[in-house]
A = this chain, B = another copy of it.
Amino acid sequence: MTSIRDEPGLRSETIRRANLSSIVRVLHADGPATRSRLVARTGLTRSAIRGLTGELVAGGLVREGRAAPLGTPGRPSPLVFPQPRGAVVLALDIEVDSLAAAYIGLGGEVLEHVRVDRPRGHSSLVDVVDDLAGLAAVVADRRPDPFTTVGIGVAIPGIVRRADGLVSVAPNLGWRDEPLGDQLVRVLGDDLPISVANEADLAVLAESRRGAAVGADHVLFVSGEVGVGGGLIVEGRPFTGVAGYGGEVGHLPVNPAGQVCSCGAIGCWETEVGAMALLRRAGRNPAGGRAEMDALLADAAAGSAAVLAALEETGRWLGLGLAGLLNVLNPRLVVFGGLFQRIHPWVASIVEAELDRRALSAPRRPVRVVAGSLGDEAPLIGAAELAFEPVLADPARWLHGSIDRARNQAKLTDRRVVA
Q: CB distance A328 to B265 under 8 Å? A: no
A328: contacting residue among B218, B248, B330, CB under 8 A: B248
Question: Number of A residues contacting the other chain (C-beta, 8 Å)?
Answer: 53
Query: In the bound complex, what is the Cα–Cα distance between A100 and B217 (angstroms)?
Result: 37
Among A243, A251, A327, A357: residue with most chain B CB under 10 A: A327
Q: Does A8 count as interface, using CB distance less than 8 angstroms?
A: yes
Residues of B close to A10: CB separation below 8 A = 7, 9
Q: Does A174 count as interface, using CB distance less than 8 angstroms?
A: no
Interface residues of A in 240-281 (CB under 8 A from B): 240-249, 251-257, 263-265
Interface string of A323-338 (1 = CB under 8 A from B): 1110111111000000
Q: CB distance A327 to B7 under 8 Å? A: no
Given A7-B9, A10-B7: A331 in contact with B252 (beta carbons within 8 A): no
Q: CB distance A253 to B256 under 8 Å? A: no
Copies of this subunit: 2
Q: CB distance A254 to B254 under 8 Å? A: yes
Query: In the bound complex, what is the Cα–Cα distance between A366 and B161 (angstroms)?
Result: 13
Q: Does A159 count as interface, using CB distance less than 8 angstroms?
A: yes
Q: Does A418 count as interface, using CB distance less than 8 angstroms?
A: no
Residues of A within 8 A of B (CB): 7-10, 159, 161, 168-169, 176, 217-218, 230, 234, 239-249, 251-257, 263-265, 320-321, 323-325, 327-332, 357-363, 366
Return 23 A-B CB contacts under 8 Å, by A number.
Answer: A7-B7, A7-B9, A8-B8, A161-B362, A168-B361, A169-B362, A234-B239, A243-B363, A245-B360, A245-B362, A245-B363, A248-B327, A248-B360, A249-B328, A251-B324, A251-B360, A252-B327, A252-B328, A253-B320, A253-B321, A253-B323, A255-B256, A265-B323
